[in-house]
Amino acid sequence: MQDFLKRLPKAELHLHIEGSLEPELMFALAERNGIELPYASVDEVRAAYEFEDLQSFLNLYYQGMAVLRSADDFFDLAMDYFRRAHAEGVVHVEISFDPQAHLARGIELGVQMEGLSRARRQAERELDMSTALIMSFLRDRPADEAMRVLEQAAPYWEMLDAVGLDSAECGHPPSKFREVFARAMTLGIPRVAHAGEEGPPSYIREALDLLDVCRIDHGVRCLEDSALVERLREERIPLTVCPLSNVRLKVVEHIDDHPLPKLMDAGLLLTLNSDDPAYFGGGVLANYLACQRAFGWSKETFAILARNAIEVAFLDDSRRQALR
């Protein structure tokens, strides 16, 4: 089964590239850039990854990414991840990045884009992977800042497969970003949003109704609203679920209590993803394996989950056909 899950051609649709920064690379980049880390060793970094909730994780996530300064740093970050994903049988990846988190540290958008784009080209060429890029807005920062970043990204609009919405969810409803997402829609840029991870089901509704998103990231709290579940099923709205993330951020107590089986019984269109693999105990394959252990799903079930991701990915028709 392990071998089957590894060989199964998988797509990853929910991955924060800054959350793929392994402690080893964090140290290497800190050294390269003359940055002092608040840790003595790689083991000490890993030991610090005990989270109480989303915010306690985000604090370390923003701290960790401070080692990213040059285009080469962004290249190394993404290439490191692409290689690991490739080794796990991932054939298509959609990477999200948080431009505002880097702009706030004085790292220009052009630097971020150059490094990430170069890594994407290399992965496509050398690893025969396809990739997509999602520019995410930080929902705990003002909407007008997100709007400025969207306009600032004009030279790169063509390279964006979607815009997204992430960071601290509670208290920052999708409605706060309706103008930003309306502008993205005018520009012809597809939209996704985190909703229903820590936030209530009403945030999922808002993301659909006000932001016109084509996918919901996480969405696990939809189960608290049966009419919403029915709508997600009817409209075939994909959820990018991240089981290990939900355990590590205490969205659920234990993997055995994860709502995935209920979501599946409800007939929802589900995909399995890693979110922040360096922080949450593994990549896509680790998430598939954790579900296998917890729920004992069949090969057919995993094949459907993998197929779902390929069907709803930002892919051109010929590549999608090749991956089917």
Residues annotated catalytic, as ranges: 197
CB of 245 to ligand ES4, least distance (A): 5
Q: How far apart are CA 11 and CA 94, in angstroms?
A: 8
Question: Choosing among Zn ion, ligand ES4, none, which partner's interface includes residue 22 (Cβ < 5 to 8 Å by kind)?
Answer: none
Q: Does 166 bind ligand ES4 (CB under 6 A)?
A: yes
With binding defined as CB under 6 A, does residue 94 bind ligand ES4?
Answer: no
Nearest distance in Å: CB 168, ligand ES4: 7
Residue 276 assigned ligand-binding role: yes
User: What string of DSSP letters covers 258-277?
Assistant: -SHHHHHHTT-EEEE--BSH
- In the numeric block, the tokens 């706030």 are attached to 104
Q: Please provide residue 12's backbone torsions phi and psi, each rounded to the nearest 5 degrees.
A: -115, 120
- Interaction partner, residue 167 (ligand ES4, Zn ion, none; CB < 5-8 Å by kind): ligand ES4
Instruction: Answer with the entry of ligand ES4, Zn ion, none that 54 interacts with (C-beta below 5 to 8 A by kind).
Output: ligand ES4
Residue 77 is a binding residue for ligand ES4 (CB under 6 A)? no
Six token digits for residue 36:
């002092």
Site for ligand ES4 in 183-202 (CB under 6 A): 194, 197
> Shortest gap between Cβ of 240 and Zn ion (angstroms)?
8
Angle among Cα 241, 90, 165 to the nearest 5 degrees reads 40
Choose from ligand ES4, Zn ion, none: what does 84 bind? Cβ within 5-8 Å by kind. none
Which CB atom, from 176 or from 248, has the smaller least distance to Zn ion?
248
Residue 172 marked ligand-binding: no
Report the distance separating Cα 143 and Cα 28, nearest Å: 35
Maximum distance among all Cα pairs of the chain, rounded to whole angstroms: 54
Number of residues that bind ligand ES4 (CB under 6 A): 11
Q: Which residues, other chains included, contact 241 with Cβ-Cβ below 8 Å and sequence gap of 6+?
A: 218, 219, 220, 260, 263, 270, 271, 272, 273
Dihedral Cα 135, 276, 123, 155, nearest 10 deg:
10
Instruction: Note whether 12 binds Zn ion by CB under 5 A.
Output: no
88 is a contact residue toward ligand ES4 (CB under 6 A) = no
DSSP string, 122-136: HHHHHS--EEEEEEE
Question: Least distance from C-beta 242 to ligand ES4, angstroms?
Answer: 7
Pick between residue 22 and residue 275 the one whose CB is nearest to Zn ion. Answer: 275
Q: Is 276 in the site for ligand ES4 (CB under 6 A)?
A: yes
In degrees, rounded to 5, the angle at the alpha carbon of residue 147 between the alpha carbons of residues 76 and 171 is: 90
Q: Which residue is nearest to ligand ES4 (CB)?
A: 166
d(CA 76, CA 31): 14
Does the annotation flag 218 for ligand binding?
no
Report in angstroms how near the CB of residue 197 gets to Zn ion at its nearest: 7
Q: Do the annotations mark residue 254 as ligand-binding?
A: no
Please choose, from the candidates 103, 229, 245, 109, the residue with its C-alpha nearest in 3D space to the C-alpha of residue 169.
245
If binding is defined by CB under 5 A, does position 275 make contact with Zn ion? yes
Interior/surface letters 47-59, b for 16+ CB within 10 angstroms, e for the rest: eebebeebeebbe
> Is residue 16 a known part of a binding site?
yes
Binding residues for Zn(2+): 14, 16, 194, 275
| Residues of this chain that bind ligand ES4 (CB under 6 A) | 16, 19, 54, 61, 166-167, 194, 197, 245, 275-276
Instruction: List residues near Zn ion by CB under 5 A.
Output: 275
* Residue set of the binding site for substrate: 276
Q: Which residues does the annotation place in the binding site?
A: 14, 16, 194, 275-276
